[in-house]
Every structure is written in structure tokens, then in C-alpha cells.
A = this chain, B = another copy of it.
Amino acid sequence: MLKTSLLYILLTLTLAFPSFGQKAPIVLVDQGSFAVGGKVITAPGTFDPIAHGAFNPGNQSSAGQTLHGDHAYVFYQVPKNSKKLPLIFWHGYGQFSKTWETTPDGREGFQNIFLRKKYPDYLLDQPRRGRAGRSTVAGNISAAPDDQLWFGIFRLGVGTAFYPGVQFDKSPETLDQFLRQITPDTGPIDFNANTAAVTALFDRIGNGILVTHSHSGGQGWLTALKTDHIKGIVSYEPGSNFVFPEGSVPEPIPYVGGVLKAVGVPMDKFKKLTQIPIVIYYGDYIPAEPVENPAQEQWRAALQMAKRWTKTVNENGGDVTLVHLPEIGIEGNTHFPFSDLNNIQIAELMAEWLRQKGLDK
């Protein structure tokens, strides 16, 4: 009985604190959170706190009231003896800051890994997502099941079958955690609102390194056009909105399930992307030639566009490194390399690139 209780306690501790006691402590000189950017809207009229000050859901007068929305939210941590440039982590589509936290199988994510490497970090939720839920535009949230769509697009496998050799723990608990990382938009996605809020973040904190994933990849390029504070970009699997000089915008790339278009901006704006070091990583299961599976096709188009983009930026004096992980012998990565089973190796690659570019001082 005592033995069983002890076993139960140990099991509970292991589940609750997966890395408890196995690693050195993380020493923080500061941590905190704030909202940044955003708008204020005001309804016409005058607010009467006596007539309309009761909580009356569904039947509330807005007259004369304001709404503060469309901000981003960040949680930041500063380790002791930290490096100068913080990492600003931006999630992808349908995701929030959880992307960078504990992995679905309970190991440390990039949040802890890079704190241990002495980088201050900012984990942001873009406007109308997660902890930045207050939107100035109304929204509808569907509860239509779509887990298997994302299982495919996030390249865990096809249907419900994992890819052979995938760097993802196949226990049901891990998939359960992974699927619960999905969170809806609380209003329409608005690139202007998002890039404005992230620009406001850099205005507030100063210089830093932007780390993007998927849908924030393209938004990251657009944000870099707006601020001088982004000193480098690490982009995991950017999916769309590659920015080219007007006149050099490539033809759209058709694929099974859609068409990937590029974005044109004036050359003087584009030039900003040539002035900072950029690295892009793509994982495995991205075919070189067209296939029938649209969830893979989307990434075939993205990788193809990323190659063209890399060439264009570098031809204009830029410093973009494109790493297709299987080509350097790292196989089995999903659309989330930073939380895959080999995420320590993926983090080391990023850390080494930061060192090479002098961004690790």
C-alpha cells in the first residue's frame, strides 16, 4: 500500500513537473507581461453609469463607451547575465505563445531552452488571438471539427496515420496536447493590426531578434519593413506573403488546393530586408514535385517560393540562409521543428547561426 502510494506520488510528480530536478535552475532577474499597440474605438452617445451600469449580457448599451482592442500581448523573461538582444517569438496560424513553451510530449520548448542560453525572451500573442483576445471587430468562432486537417497541414502525417520516422511522440496524450494548442481568432485576422502591434512592441523594447513560425513568417517580413529594431530574423517554415521588389514579383505558384502569391513593395522598402541576417528552416515531408496530398502541396509551394525569395534578397545584397533540414541530414521534422523530438538539435542550429551572425553578444 505504502509502495503503491509512493509510486503514485512519483508518477504524479513526473507528470506534473516533467523536467523537475533534471536540469539547472533558471535564474530570472525579471519577468512580466504587458499589452502593446492596439486601438481604441468609441460608440456615439453618452454613457450613463446609473441607467446602463448594470451587467446585462446581450442587452447592454454601448452609448458613449470605449473599447480597447487589437493590441498584442507579451510575456517576457530576462535571465541573469543575459545577452543584449532578446528573442521575440511569434506564433503561427491558429496558434499562440504555447508554440514555444513545453512541447506536446512534456519536454522543454524554445522558451526554456533559450533562457538557458541567456537570451531574454518575449512570447507574444498577436492581436485577436490567445491572451490578446479583445478585438475592435466582431467575430464568429466555429466549433466545426478540423483536427485532422491540421494533422495533415502541420505534417504529422496523412489522415490519422503518422509519417514513418516522424519526430513526434506517437502516444495519444502527446497528440491530445498538440491539438489543444490550437486556438481560434477572436476577430478577423488583420495583417495591418498585427504588424502595427509588433512594431509597437519593438518601439517599446528596442533592438531584438524576431523568431517567426508559419503564418507569422510573412508578417515578419512585413514588420521588418516598418521598424529598424529587428536585427535578425529566424523563420520556421514561412508559408506565405514573401515580399519582393515591385517589378520582380514572381508568378504565383499553383499547387493542389490553392495558389501561392507573392507580394510586391517598392525597392527602397524591400532593401530593408537585405540589411539584416535572416535564416529560414523547413522540415521534412515536403515533396520536390507535385503530389496529390494538398497538405504537402502547400509546403512544396512555400519552399519553392522561399528559394526564389532567398535568391532575390541575396542578389540585392542580402544575407538569407535557407535550410531545408533533410538536405543537411536532419530528417523527420514536422511543421513544428522547435517542439519536435529533436528540438534540442534544432535549437543548436539556431544558436549557432545567431553566433555566426554576431547576434549572441
Contact = CB atoms under 8 A, between A and B. Distances in A.
A279 to B, nearest CB: 25
B258 A54 contact: yes
A181 B293 contact: no
Interface string A112-144: 100000000000000001111111111111111
B33 A68 contact: no
Given A28-B28, A68-B180, A184-B133, A34 B102 contact: yes
Contact of A141 (B26, B32, B179, B187): B187
A34 B73 CA distance: 19
B54 A112 contact: no
A315 interface: no
Contacts of A129: 133
**Among A30, A66, A159, residue most surrounded by chain B Cβ atoms (within 10 Å):** A30
A177 B18 contact: no
Interface string A176-194: 1101111110110000000
Nearest to A147: B66
Interface in A11-46: 12, 15-21, 25-35, 38, 41-43
Contacts of A257: 53-56
Nearest to A258: B54
A32 B19 contact: yes
A146 interface: yes
B68 A12 contact: no
Contact of A180 (B16, B71, B75): B71
Q: Which 3 A-B pairs have the closest CB atoms?
A: A54-B257, A133-B183, A54-B294
Interface of A: 9, 12, 15-21, 25-35, 38, 41-43, 47, 49-50, 52-56, 60, 62, 64-69, 71, 73, 75-76, 78, 80, 96-98, 101-102, 106, 108, 111-112, 129-149, 152-153, 158-160, 176-177, 179-184, 186-187, 204-206, 256-258, 292-295, 297-298
22 contacts: A17-B32, A20-B78, A26-B27, A26-B31, A32-B108, A35-B177, A50-B293, A52-B149, A54-B256, A54-B258, A55-B257, A55-B294, A60-B146, A62-B145, A65-B147, A66-B148, A96-B131, A135-B143, A138-B140, A140-B140, A140-B141, A141-B187
